[in-house]
Amino acid sequence: MRDKETDFGNIRTMAFVGAAGTGKSQRAQFVADYLEADYIIDDGLVIRRTEIVCGKSAKAERNQIRAIRRALFEYDDHRVSVMEFFRHAAPCSVMVIATSEDMARRIMEKLALPPPERVIRIEDVATPEEISRARKERTGKGQHVIPVSHVLVRKNFAGKMVGRLRVLWRSASPLDGEKTIVRPPFSFYGEVHIEPEALEQLAAHAAGRVPQVAEGPVCRVYSTESDSLSVEIDLKVTPGPKSIIRVAESVRQRVAKSIGYFCGLSVYNVNVNVTGVEF
C-alpha cells in the first residue's frame, strides 16, 4: 500500500505485457518511444535509452526462483534503491515490462507507483510469425534480450554474452536502439518446475498457521490465462477473538504472500471457503 512518503503521484505509468519469450525486450525501446516513456522497468532494471540507471537484472541471477523474485522487486535493498531513484526522477513517465497485466500492477504496487494509464500487449506490435520466432529462440537456445548496450551489460552480467541487435533510431548516440543477447546463468542449469501439489501443500501450510484455523485446510491451485495462479481453500475455523471474516482475510493475505515470496509466482486471487466452525 502506498503512503504519503512514497506516493509518486507525479509519475505516469504504462505497461507492456506479453508471455515470456515473445520478444517484449526486443521491442521495448520502440514501444517506450511510442508511449513517450522516460524510463523502462525490465526484469529488475531501470533503463533510459539503453542505459542502466538503477536496479539489478534478474537475468544475472543463478537460479530461476531468485530471478523471478528479483524481477518482482522482492528484495528490500533492491526495491528501496529503485524507489529512491524515482523519488528524485519525478516527474517522469515509466513503462513496466511484464508477462501479464497482473504482474505489471504487482511491480507498480511494490514500487509505490500509480496504476498503469495504458496497457500495450505484444500482439499489438508483433505479428504471430515474429512471436513464434522469438519463442523458438528462447526455448531452443535459452537466449534472452536486454534492451541495453552490450558495453553496459558486460560490466555486471555473470552469464554468457551471445550477440547484439541494432535498431535504427533518429539519435546522435551510437548506442541508442542497441540491444544485447545473453544467456542467463540459470539457463545453463535447466528449468525449475513446481508441481501443483507442492503449491497446494505450501498454501495449506500457510493457511494452517493463521490463528483460529482448524487443522486440515484443503487447497486447490489453478493456472489462469494471464500466467498467474488462482487458489481455492476450504477450511474450518475455531472460536476466538477474530470474526470469521477477519480470519478468512488473514488466510487470503498470508497464502498470496507465501506463494509470491517462496516461489516467485504471481497470484491472481485466493478464494477462502469457510465450511464450518470446530469447537
Query: Mind listing the pLDDT tens digit for each residue in 34-87?
Result: 999 999 999 899 988 878 899 988 877 777 778 888 889 989 999 999 999 999
Q: What share of the chain is helix, strand, coil (3-state, %, to 5)?
A: 40, 25, 35
Terminal Cα distance for the chain, rounded? 36
Task: Return the number of other C-beta atoms located less than 10 Å from residue 124's C-beta.
Answer: 11
Average pLDDT of the segment spanning 171-193 = 48
pLDDT at position 259 over 90: no
This prediction has a pTM of 0.60
pLDDT at position 178 over 60: no
Report d(CA 15, CA 116) in Å as an integer.
6
Reduced to 3 states (helix: H, G, I; strand: E, B; else coil), residue 47 is strand
Residue with cell 536486454: 146
Q: Where in the chain are all domains bearing CATH 3.30.70.1350?
A: 196-277
| Residue partners of 125: CB distance under 8 A and separation at least 6 | 27, 30, 31
Q: What percentage of the chain carries pLDDT values higher than 90?
A: 43
Say which residue, 194 or 14, is predicted with more confidence.
Answer: 14
CATH code linked to domain 196-277? 3.30.70.1350
For residue 224, which phi and psi values (nearest 5 degrees)? -105, 170
Confidence at residue 197, expressed as pLDDT on a 0 to 100 scale: 87
Amino acid making up residue 31: V
Confidence of residue 5 (pLDDT cuts 50, 70, 90): very low
Say which residue, 19 or 83, is predicted with more confidence.
Answer: 83
Report d(CA 276, CA 109) in Å as an integer.
34
Average pLDDT of the segment spanning 237-260 = 92
Report d(CA 161, CA 159) in Å as an integer.
7
For residue 167, which phi and psi values (nearest 5 degrees)? -120, 135
Average pLDDT of the segment spanning 106-111 = 93
Confidence of residue 171 (pLDDT cuts 50, 70, 90): very low
Q: What is the pLDDT of residues 89-106, one digit of tens each?
A: 989 999 999 988 988 999
Cβ proximity of 103 and 44 under 8 Å: no
Say which residue, 261 or 47, is predicted with more confidence.
Answer: 47
Say which residue, 9 or 81, is predicted with more confidence.
Answer: 81
